[in-house]
Amino acid sequence: MVHVRGGGPILISLPVRPPCRGQGIGRLLVGKVVKWARAQRTRQVALWVTEGYERALSLYIDIGFRDTGEHQVHPSHPDFTEKRMVLEL
């Protein structure tokens, strides 16, 4: 799901079912969001990734997202922390 706010699109959720992981689906979906964002002439795409989700973190880093240093408590799971990442377009 993508939310568009004043600063540009925010990738909210990108669930890939466990049996489908490792097949490039996440990369494909993020690529579609980035392509759409570029067509909208936005300057960046942002997201929050749950700390400890190394596969997701590795994917975002590989695509070019960078850690902003911002952290927050996960809105649905207060025992988890998220970090904000952005991709400059």
What stretches of 1-89 show up as alpha helix (H) in DSSP?
25-39, 54-63
Per the CB < 8 A criterion, the answer to whether 82 and 72 are in contact is: yes
pLDDT digit string, tens, across residues 12-40: 888 889 999 899 999 999 999 999 999 98
Give backbone dihedrals phi and psi of 20, rounded to 5 degrees, phi first: -100, -5
What region, left, alpha or beta, does residue 82 occupy, with left being phi > 0 and alpha being psi -120 to 50 degrees? beta
What domain range is 58 assigned to? Answer: 2-88
For 56-69, what is the mean pLDDT? 96
82: confidence class by pLDDT, cuts 50, 70, 90: very high
Tally of domains within the chain = 1
Spatial contact of 70 and 33, defined as CB atoms under 8 Å apart: no
Task: List the structure tokens of 17.
Answer: 């079912």
Task: Tell whether the model's pLDDT for residue 69 goes beyond 90.
Answer: yes
